[in-house]
A and B are shown apart, each in its own frame.
Chain A
């Protein structure tokens, strides 16, 4: 049992390592002083965050807008792509496999740089729409692979049964394939919302003036003078992600059952 104890110690140390900085943030967010030394409990940074941070909330609104739109479009495109790769043969199949795998493994910065150069060279205006295009682009391969992994376990005989019973291709897709694939599609959607909300590097390159998303705004807050408002924001975001994680677990259970 020596080995077990060793791995348990490493596990506990890792948990401390992972949570210590976040715990410090949470405690700091209730500190009334601006510095690190404890000056007493206060909610003033939350007041500052909710009532005096208009630009932050604008960037938050943009983040949500882009996450929702880009994840819906990328889920639709990625799901159809996964169906085509799993069940059909077509001329450019090999090409599609390569170009949908590469974005997953190349460093983010490469996509950011190349999209910036593309947009600028064709004089495409940088702003919310260019961010939307970029996010949809990096989300599509993730959706594709999530849905594709679900399709591997998909019982194809129900599709054949639908055809045998006289369903058209369109009916089979909308009444048999998509409903049965829903758990995979939902995971793809949630994954792309998460990736979109979290992305900093690619957005950093393709954003234009006045189109900051939340991560870009946080970046500028960190870079130009740290304000304790970030602490309060962090706590809200951490609480938000945990709540979301709990509820998506419920959603997924609901979708599966």
Chain B
């Protein structure tokens, strides 16, 4: 009845498009990372692992450390804030309205959201003006790691709240009452019933926060300082200023590998958990 050959017709455009503009460029990046740097940018078609030389540089290792440290701290704090927020929304009478309130700032342009923190905390920002007004010394609040973490949490918080909200909404709170009736303390009841049940939500929230944090470019560029340059900034510099393409390609490859490993580990964790429950 249904012509199975049409599956090919329906799937052809998407397969072609993504092969040409996603798979092919990804492979080209991997190939470029093993080529020799051209004199005026670009590459020469000679095999070389110079692109991966950056592992010897202490500056680069520091950037890797910054990237991992900032991403982990941002993810941890974001999910930690998002759980009670999502819990409150999911148990409220005005769910849709509260959810809408959380999403509006998220719809504001990404760069405007970064800029709003510069105008609040910048050297000529509101906070410093207030400090001067009260006769206090102005302080440099941005261009450091603290600012990168703060603005990242601001940018990614809704990504964490939404999946947690949909996990919590499905949770049957009668289970907590049951645990309490069976003698569990309030804390214990939440730890033993609530947290395991919303685990898929926590995993998705972690994924949605950690991955964009790992690939940050604009936030460390605009509010970060020397102590908070991340892999994204190094890639962009190698690509557009130093013009060392094999190196940029090599760092992108490493970032891709880190992300894929992270996803595999998390999804395995998710599956193990599901397997254990059944």
Q: How far is the CB of B134 from chain A (nearest CB, A)?
A: 13
A104 to B, closest residue via Cβ: B211
For chain A, residues 126 to 169, give those with C-beta under 8 angstroms from any C-beta of chain B. 133-134, 136-137, 140-141, 144, 160, 163, 169
Contacts of B179 in A (CB 8 A): none
- Residues 166-198 of A, flagged 1 when their CB comes within 8 A of B and 0 if not, give 000100000000000000000000000010011
Cβ–Cβ contact A237 & B112, under 8 A:
yes
Please count how many residues in chain B sit with their CB below 8 Å of the partner chain's CB atoms: 81
Contacts of B88 in A (CB 8 A): 4, 7-8, 10-11
Cβ–Cβ contact B22 & A137, under 8 A:
yes
| Residue B72, interface by CB 8 Å | no
For the A-B complex, the count of residue pairs with Cβ-Cβ distances under 8 Å equals 254
Taken together as a complex, chains A and B put the C-alpha atoms of A241 and B255 apart, in Å, by 33
Choose from B2, B28, B212 the contact partner of A87 (Cβ within 8 Å): B2
Among B54-62, B214-222, B268-276, the one that faces the other chain is B214-222
Majority SS at the chain A contact face: helix
Taken together as a complex, chains A and B put the C-alpha atoms of A120 and B114 apart, in Å, by 30
B230 to A, closest residue via Cβ: A109
Taken together as a complex, chains A and B put the C-alpha atoms of A15 and B92 apart, in Å, by 15
Cβ–Cβ contact A81 & B13, under 8 A:
yes
A219 to B, closest residue via Cβ: B111
Majority SS at the chain B contact face: helix
B interface list, Cβ under 8 A from A: 1-4, 6-8, 10-11, 13-15, 17-19, 21-26, 28-29, 32, 42, 81, 84-85, 87-89, 91, 98, 100-105, 107-120, 124-126, 129, 154, 157, 186, 190, 207, 211-212, 214-215, 217-218, 222, 232, 235-236, 239, 245, 248-249, 252, 255-256, 259, 263
Task: List, sorted by A's number, 27 A–B pairs whose CB atoms are closer than 8 Å.
Answer: A6-B84, A11-B89, A20-B120, A24-B119, A25-B115, A25-B119, A35-B124, A80-B10, A81-B11, A87-B2, A88-B4, A88-B6, A96-B11, A100-B18, A105-B259, A107-B215, A107-B232, A113-B235, A121-B28, A137-B22, A201-B217, A215-B110, A223-B222, A233-B112, A234-B108, A238-B112, A242-B107
A interface list, Cβ under 8 A from B: 2-4, 6-8, 10-11, 14-15, 17-22, 24-25, 28, 35-37, 76-78, 80-81, 83-85, 87-90, 92-93, 95-96, 99-100, 102-103, 105-111, 113-118, 120-121, 133-134, 136-137, 140-141, 144, 160, 163, 169, 194, 197-198, 200-201, 204-205, 214-215, 218-219, 222-223, 226, 230-231, 233-234, 237-238, 241-242, 245
